[in-house]
Structure 1
Amino acid sequence: MLFLFATSKSENSIIGYQVVKKHVTKALGDATKSLLLTFKTKKTLGLFLKFSIYKRLSWNSWHHLWTIRKNTRRVLSAFK
């Protein structure tokens, strides 16, 4: 869906792009805030992510999460 917005040059797609950017940015911000509130500091959050999540996930699911993160970064960088 995001790629459809990216390839089209019409005015509707630009509006759609802005809506998608707003919702994706808000969702990422909310998730980050809630995690930081839970762990208080970035250091403890990092340790949790390294030792807890990494060891519990299989390689496929970990790689899937990493791919989502990488693709989200690409999408958001297109809006800068």
Structure 2
Amino acid sequence: MLRHEFQPGRLVAGFFLILAGVVYAGDAGGLWETPWFVVIPVVTGGLCVAGAVGVLAQAVRGRRGAGRTNPAGAQPREPS
């Protein structure tokens, strides 16, 4: 049972931010030389892709859930 809904946009954003961290860590460790401006397109491009994935996921989720009366995982309350 999932404790929260899957949000692929956040997964993509996290991947690109980790990629930016790895690029700078490799530069700091001396594995390669990275100019300071390289991470700007990686982060902005990753956030744009993450936004597009989030909008697409919301559109798919909204279309699938249009006929449902209860939100996913919600149980109807019984009168006490």
Higher relative contact order (CA 8 A, sep 6+): 2
Q: Does TM-score exceed 0.5, indicating one fold?
A: no
Question: What TM-score range do you get, normalising by the shorter chain?
Answer: 0.3 to 0.5
- State the TM-score, normalized to the length of structure 1: 0.45
Instruction: Give 1 or 2 for the bigger CA radius of gyration.
Output: 2
- State the TM-score, normalized to the length of structure 2: 0.45
